[in-house]
């Protein structure tokens, strides 16, 4: 049989609406360790995986890249070079994070080879976003490679519109959805959830997750079919630092330090006390004679055994903390499992900001500002769907000093992801552009961090909006939840759900689960699960506990500021929105923009007008805005019969004078309408440049305006005396 180099091996899965998802391998990128393609409609997503040699270290160097090529949508890239930029866009980074988060936990804990996953969108469907299918493509590529991988994973997007739950919704459906959710998981369990909503209930959220998981099961089965037939032999991992010395170290470390460690974890320490104490105890362990007898001293010390001793201490810290929570319901800072850390709030802390707030929760502190701008300040972007702009954005900064470290400054993917979560959390309560024509930028500066700085950004963002006087629908608060299980399974008898987790509880726990919302419902949701088989019942319990925590935080926000201020900051621009007929756009802009530029120079306002005739005026103060609006109204005004105008004589003809009564709009005062007596010559009454008052008689079907000075004089002439009223005295005759 002839070998076909471009022959593909395929498997098919069906989505709930009958849409076929085709997974293939063996045709493209065959020199990669693993490659796979997912095809849905016109979407064509290619994923590859490659790996490097074994590396020493205690972390897994996995890199996930996601790129959308302009040709995939039949478009040319923007910019001078007509080439995609080297740095991924924020949207591409967010998509890469969605792929990274569910596949990372599927690698073994002791795996330290460098792994690079690259996902390229080679063809895009105009109806739906292809990003979530990158999870299935990446999972299949890894499953087909030599790399160890616990289970195949997949992801789908779910939208809720009314009572309808839609898997793989279109762009149009997402734009009007009450809930937009990405769900990732294996055939047996959900491992990641992320989405935004417009104040939906906990039950709606859970049903959307289970709907998504039903589709995920089919995608995972199709992957497993290809992996079973075409996967390369898996590499064998040798256990590290195991053997007699390791067993001796485990016993010795516990004997040397357990009592002191247990006492420290029961001492109600905060981070600034706990971290130095743990470092002190670790140093004490590796300097103890019992430990040195195993790992050696000085030049004879075994570096691998030293690292093993430190790892054993870290694991002892983890298990002791988890046991304390499970058996005693007590956390390392002394809180109960449902307790939120103390909260303090200050408003208006920055004199020049339009709105500002400091939100302090425990050892996490966010300084959040709100700045209001004009339409010219909107963020412009380019995607596979074309160019667009957004009038609301939230930026999150996490400088190294907030955790007491020295590091190079720069924007990390984590910062972009946390900012995106906080941004979508507040989007549901913002006023619509038609009612509030401002560009809104919120910036969260994390000044201290010990857990859930993204949720502090949400709370601080709400406060800064209200301080600026933005009429939000309702305050939004967020809380990070955690989970501790005894054996790492959802059916454990011993499971504790933790409210408002610290950094240590996040690192040592089994779930990181962030929920934001108002008192009426959820606005955003992000969950990463480390345990297997989490059930809807457990998820519902976590959501209800999160709701209680959210309501507590909302109470603190309302104590600080019950409602948005009744006026915008005096430092914010005055914004006026008005609409004009499209036929008048040219009149407002003028030749080469001369008219609009002149108004901007005269009033100090910024004027933006779109093709629909919508005008945004950004004025330095209310008076300038009113003047600018009046000037535009005069430009687009139509002459009204019976109305008096003050105009300037522009030209004179033998039959009458043309008077400009509105900007760019003349009317004719016929010679017979110049005076209430016969006029021989127009120049006997008016001259070019004269300012005169005229009465509009009407506008004929051709748009010609008829004006009159005579009719106005008659209208303004005093009435003749009636009846027996005394006659006016006769004027004196001049003397001869």
Mean pLDDT in runs of 10 for the chain (736 residues)?
79 92 94 96 96 80 93 83 82 95 90 93 94 97 95 96 95 95 93 94 94 96 96 83 80 93 92 92 93 88 87 92 91 93 96 96 96 88 84 95 89 92 96 89 96 95 97 97 79 83 88 94 92 81 94 97 92 87 89 91 91 89 88 84 88 91 85 89 90 89 87 74 49 40
**What is the spatial distance between Cα 483 and Cα 506, in angstroms, rounded to a whole number?**
9
Closest of 96, 201, 89, 110 to residue 155, by C-alpha: 96
**What is the spatial distance between Cα 389 and Cα 255, in angstroms, rounded to a whole number?**
62
Q: Are 692 and 646 in contact (CB under 8 A)?
A: yes
**What is the spatial distance between Cα 324 and Cα 241, in angstroms, rounded to a whole number?**
28
Binding positions for Mg(2+) = 506, 512
Rg (CA), the chain: 36
Q: pLDDT of 719-730, one tens digit each? A: 555 554 444 444
Positive or negative, the CA dihedral 68, 71, 77, 82 is positive
pTM above 0.85, yes or no: no
**What is the spatial distance between Cα 426 and Cα 532, in angstroms, rounded to a whole number?**
31
CA 431 to chain centre: 16
**What is the spatial distance between Cα 496 and Cα 326, in angstroms, rounded to a whole number?**
6
**What is the spatial distance between Cα 182 and Cα 167, in angstroms, rounded to a whole number?**
10
What residues pair up with 446 in beta bridges, in sequence order?
Answer: 366
For every residue of 615-656, DSSP letters joined together read: EEEEESSHHHHHHHHHHHHHHH----TT-EEEEEEEEEETTE
Would you state the structure tokens that stand for residue 711, as one six-digit string? Answer: 């009719």
What residues pair up with 48 in beta bridges, in sequence order?
Answer: 35, 118
Binding positions = 506, 512
Which DSSP symbol is given to 725? P
pLDDT of residue 728: 44
pLDDT of residue 343: 97
End-to-end CA distance of the chain: 139
Place of tokens 């603190």: 556
Number of residues assigned to the chain: 736
β-pairing, 665-670 with 705-708? Answer: parallel
pLDDT of residue 621: 80
Tell me which H or E stretch contains 265: helix 244-265
Q: Are 594 and 602 in contact (CB under 8 A)?
A: no
Closest of 194, 212, 311, 83 to residue 536, by C-alpha: 212
Locate all alpha helices (DSSP H) within 104-201, ordered by sequence.
133-144, 171-175
Q: pLDDT of 483-505, one tens digit each? A: 998 876 666 668 899 999 998 88
């Amino acid at each position: 049989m002839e070998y076909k180099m471009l022959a593909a091996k395929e498997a098919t899965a069906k989505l709930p609406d009958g849409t076929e998802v085709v997974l293939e391998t063996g045709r493209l990128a065959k020199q990669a360790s693993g490659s796979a393609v997912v095809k849905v409609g016109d979407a064509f997503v290619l994923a590859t995986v490659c790996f490097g040699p074994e590396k020493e270290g205690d972390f897994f160097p996995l890199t996930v890249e996601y790129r959308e090529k302009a040709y995939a949508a039949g478009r040319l890239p923007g910019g001078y070079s007509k080439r995609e930029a080297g740095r991924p866009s924020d949207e591409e980074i967010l998509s890469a994070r969605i792929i990274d988060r569910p596949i990372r936990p599927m690698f073994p804990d002791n795996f330290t080879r460098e792994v690079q996953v690259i996902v390229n969108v080679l063809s895009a469907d105009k109806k739906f976003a292809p990003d979530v299918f990158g999870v299935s493509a990446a999972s299949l590529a890894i499953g087909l490679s030599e790399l160890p991988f616990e289970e195949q994973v997949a992801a789908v997007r779910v939208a809720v519109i009314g009572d309808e739950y839609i898997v793989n919704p279109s762009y149009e459906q997402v734009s009007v959805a009450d809930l937009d959710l990405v769900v990732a998981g294996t055939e047996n369990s959900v491992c990641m959830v992320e989405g935004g909503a417009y104040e939906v209930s906990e039950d709606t959220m859970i049903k959307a997750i289970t709907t998504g998981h039903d589709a995920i099961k089919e995608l995972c089965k199709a992957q497993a079919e290809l992996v079973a037939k075409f996967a390369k032999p898996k590499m064998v991992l040798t256990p590290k630092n195991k053997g007699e010395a390791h067993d001796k170290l485990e016993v010795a470390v516990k004997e040397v330090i357990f009592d002191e460690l247990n006492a420290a974890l029961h001492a109600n320490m905060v981070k600034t006390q706990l971290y130095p104490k743990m470092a002190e105890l670790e140093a004490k362990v590796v300097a103890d004679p019992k430990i040195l007898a195993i790992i050696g001293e000085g030049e004879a010390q075994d570096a691998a055994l030293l690292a093993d001793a430190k790892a054993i201490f870290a694991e002892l810290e983890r298990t002791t903390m988890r046991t304390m929570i499970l058996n005693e319901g007590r956390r390392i800072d002394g809180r109960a499992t449902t307790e939120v850390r103390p909260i303090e709030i200050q408003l208006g802390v920055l004199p020049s900001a339009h709105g500002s707030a400091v939100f302090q929760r425990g050892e996490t502190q966010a300084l959040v500002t709100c700045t209001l701008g004009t339409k010219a300040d909107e963020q412009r972007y380019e995607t596979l769907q074309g160019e667009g702009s957004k009038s609301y954005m939230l930026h999150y900064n996490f400088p190294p000093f907030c955790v007491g470290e020295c590091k190079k400054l720069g924007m990390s993917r984590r910062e972009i992801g946390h900012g995106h979560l906080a941004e979508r959390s507040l989007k549901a309560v913002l006023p619509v552009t038609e009612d509030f024509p401002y560009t809104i930028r919120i910036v969260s500066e994390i000044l201290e961090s010990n857990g859930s700085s993204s949720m502090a950004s949400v709370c601080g963002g709400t406060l800064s909006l209200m301080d600026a006087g933005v009429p939000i629908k309702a305050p939004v608060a967020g809380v990070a939840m955690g989970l501790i299980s005894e054996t790492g399974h959802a059916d454990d008898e011993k499971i504790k759900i933790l409210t408002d987790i610290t950094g240590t509880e996040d690192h040592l726990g089994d779930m990181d689960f962030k929920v934001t919302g108002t008192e009426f419902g959820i606005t955003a949701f992000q969950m990463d699960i480390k345990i297997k088989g989490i059930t809807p019942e457990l998820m519902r319990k976590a959501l209800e506990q999160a709701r209680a925590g959210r309501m507590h935080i909302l109470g603190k926000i309302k104590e600080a500021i019950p409602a948005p201020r009744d006026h915008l900051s005096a430092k914010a621009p005055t914004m006026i929105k008005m609409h004009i007929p499209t036929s008048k756009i040219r009149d407002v802009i003028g030749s080469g923009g001369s008219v609009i530029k002149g108004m901007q120079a005269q009033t100090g306002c910024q004027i933006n007008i779109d093709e629909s005739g919508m005008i945004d005026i950004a004025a330095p103060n209310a008076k300038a805005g009113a003047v600018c609006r009046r000037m535009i109204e005069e430009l687009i005004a139509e002459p009204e019969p019976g109305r008096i105008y003050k105009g300037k004589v522009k030209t004179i003809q033998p039959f009458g004078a043309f008077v400009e009564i509105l900007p760019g709009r003349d009317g004719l005062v016929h010679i017979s309408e110049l005076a209430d007596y016969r006029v021989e010559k127009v120049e006997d009454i008016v001259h070019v440049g004269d300012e005169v008052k005229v009465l509009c008689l009407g506008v004929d079907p051709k748009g010609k305006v008829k004006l009159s000075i005579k009719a106005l004089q008659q209208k303004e002439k005093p009435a003749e005396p009636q009846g027996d009223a005394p006659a006016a005295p006769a004027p004196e005759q001049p003397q001869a």
